[in-house]
């Protein structure tokens, strides 16, 4: 297997996301980082902003491709000829949700496998939602997100 798909909303990308993608990139020749365009979610950052932040944060890796999709993950994986999805897990609650998604994806697309990468302890508490909340109230997010994301959050919540 030479390619893996790392999907997510990445609103915004955190150091936990970056860590999972970096670690995945050591095991696959090509990593497709796919930003989910979910119109039912009220995202803080636009789809293009999230793709740009990921491109900047992952620019040191030469086997990364940033893309986006809407609709079913299995359809996107088929279009991109990818048979492995890699998801990061922080806690048992992540596992329960991600296991359901993996089983549904496998039912819809036999041969599409999901692999889980556990979060490093330093990032196990970290979520995009928490980062947004801290930034919204003026807290420091440096060290929790890539530098460009920290700047974007400060700009978004300034004033």
Active site residue 128: yes
Active-site entry in 43, 87, 128, 132: 128
Catalytic residue among 50, 51, 90, 132: 90
CA 124/CA 28 separation, integer angstroms = 23
79 as an active site residue: the answer is no
Catalytic residue among 17, 50, 51, 132: 17
- The catalytic residue among 41, 46, 79, 129 is 41
Annotated active-site residue 90? The verdict is yes
25 is catalytic: no
- Point out the residues that are catalytic: 17, 41, 90, 128
């Amino acid at each position: 297997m030479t390619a893996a798909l790392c999907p997510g909303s990445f609103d915004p990308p955190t150091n936990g996301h970056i860590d999972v993608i970096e670690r995945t990139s050591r095991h696959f020749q090509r990593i497709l980082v796919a930003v989910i365009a979910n119109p039912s979610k009220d995202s803080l950052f636009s789809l293009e902003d999230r793709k740009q932040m990921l491109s900047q944060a992952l620019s040191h890796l030469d086997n990364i491709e940033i893309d986006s999709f809407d609709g079913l993950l299995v359809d996107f994986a088929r279009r991109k000829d990818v048979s492995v999805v890699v998801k990061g897990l922080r806690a048992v609650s992540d596992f329960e949700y991600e296991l359901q998604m993996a089983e549904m994806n496998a039912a819809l697309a036999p041969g599409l496998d999901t692999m889980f990468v556990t979060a490093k302890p330093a990032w196990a508490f970290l979520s995009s939602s928490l980062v947004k909340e801290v930034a919204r109230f003026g807290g420091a997010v440096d060290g929790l997100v890539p530098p460009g994301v920290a700047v974007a959050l400060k700009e978004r919540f300034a004033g």
